[in-house]
Amino acid sequence: MENYEIAVFEYSDLYDGEFIVSKDKVLDAFMKKYERYFPLEYCQKQDIGLTKSRLWMSYTDKSGGDKPKTLFLFGLITEDLVAAIKDKVEIYYKRFCEDCGKEIQVDNWALCEVCRNT
């Protein structure tokens, strides 16, 4: 079974990590770290940069805020894995109306315009 490692760095220092993650759990484990270290209220999607290679990939906070983090995934980085992670990251940034479930384009509202005005 193929294993992965997940590590979070603050500047150049190791901050957090999971050092053995199985292939079948890597997507969920990676996204838990992503959500923890790139929270929506502090990190905008456009401020997070993706870098990848054959044996690692990383998302980095480039917002210029206090204590930027870099989230690394080490292991065999396949195109399928990269695509799955990118899909999960896209979903993470989508917002939906709490009443009707419609996707919201404005980040600072809990309801879509139709539900707000009814």
Which pTM does this prediction carry?
Answer: 0.84
Average pLDDT of the chain, as a whole number: 89
Under 8 Å CB-to-CB from 38, ≥6 apart: which residues?
A: 48, 59, 61, 69, 71
Identify the pLDDT of residue 18: 85
The pLDDT of residue 53 = 96
Q: Would you say residue 100 has pLDDT above 60?
A: yes
Annotated domain spans of the chain: 3-116
What pLDDT is attached to residue 52?
96
Q: Does the pLDDT value for residue 46 go beyond 60?
A: yes
